[in-house]
Every structure is written in structure tokens, then in C-alpha cells.
Amino acid sequence: MQRVGSTNCYLPWGKFMRDAKSGRGYLWMDLVRGLAIVLVIAWHAQAIPALNGYEVPRWLVELNTFFLPFRMPTLMFLSGMLLPRSLTKGTLRYYMGKLRYVGWPYVIWAAIFLGVFSGIQAMLNPRSSIATDYLWFLFFIGCYYCIAPVFKSCLIGFFQY
């Protein structure tokens, strides 16, 4: 088991987590995340042409249908696995990191997406910039990260051994 931060929070997956001192990731998490990203790309490779009226190979449609319940839940789950350690950094540092690595990219990409596909008028309407199409994942992971500190004692207690 691995001790997390300055608390008595131990994670059951121990050595498989990211090593904060060396900054190295662990192979299994990187492989699973990479596979989930490839599955997301495969979905987009099938969905976008189909939405534009192009014929898509049936095997690709079936493959995507099979993996539908795994792609995004896997990415969310992996993000959640890293949350207890992130919560030990202190509230200000935690929120600044989430703003820098989730919030800011969302704002930039939403502005680009809306500017290219919807025009300036859509950018002025808040309803068009919330969970915008392909950016829904960043929006919702940002929402989850915003409320996570409220449940910090539950999360840390859950992983304490």
C-alpha cells in the first residue's frame, strides 16, 4: 500500500499509482487510458462520417457498439482513482491545478469550437457553451472536480487502511 500526502490515507493499488517524487506514471494506467482514448477516436472515426451521410463499415459500427459502455466510464474511473492524492494538496493548490489543466483548456476549446462552428452570437449565449458537443467530458470532469472537496473526508476515509 502507498501512503498519500501528509494524511494517513493509504491506497489499495499502492505501487501502481503515479510516483509524485519522480513524476513517472505507471504502465497499467497509461495503457488503459491509451486504449480508452483509441476507442474514443474509433467512435469519432465512425460517428462523424455517418452523421455527414457517408457509409461506415458495419464492423466498425458493431465494434463501437460493443465498447460503448467502456470508453468514457473508464476515463472517468481513472480520473477518480487519482483524486484522493490530488485532494491532499490543499484546497487552493487543488483548485488552481484543476482550473489550469481542466477549466482553462475547456474555455479555450469551447471558444474555438463555438467560433468556428457556431459564430460569435452563439459564444454570447451561455447555453451554447456549457458541455459543448465534443467537450462534454472536460465540462463534467470539471464539475466533479469542483464538488470533490466537499466529499474529501468520505473519499479519504474510504481509502484509509
Q: What whole-number distance in Å separates Cα of residue 8 and Cα of residue 91?
A: 18
- Three-state SS at 49: helix
Q: Does pLDDT of 18 surpass 70?
A: no
Q: What is the pLDDT of residue 102?
A: 92
Q: Give pLDDT tens digits for 136-153.
A: 888 889 999 999 988 877
11: helix, coil or strand? strand
Instruction: From 111, 97, 95, 110, select the one nearest 149 (Cα to Cα).
Output: 95
Q: Which residue has the higher pLDDT, 128 or 64?
A: 64
Closest CA to 36 of 71, 2, 67: 71
- The predicted model scores a pTM of 0.66
| Residue 74 pLDDT class (50, 70, 90 cuts) | very high
pLDDT tens for 111-139 read: 887 777 776 666 666 666 667 677 888 88
Q: Around Cβ 148, how many Cβ atoms within 10 Å? A: 18
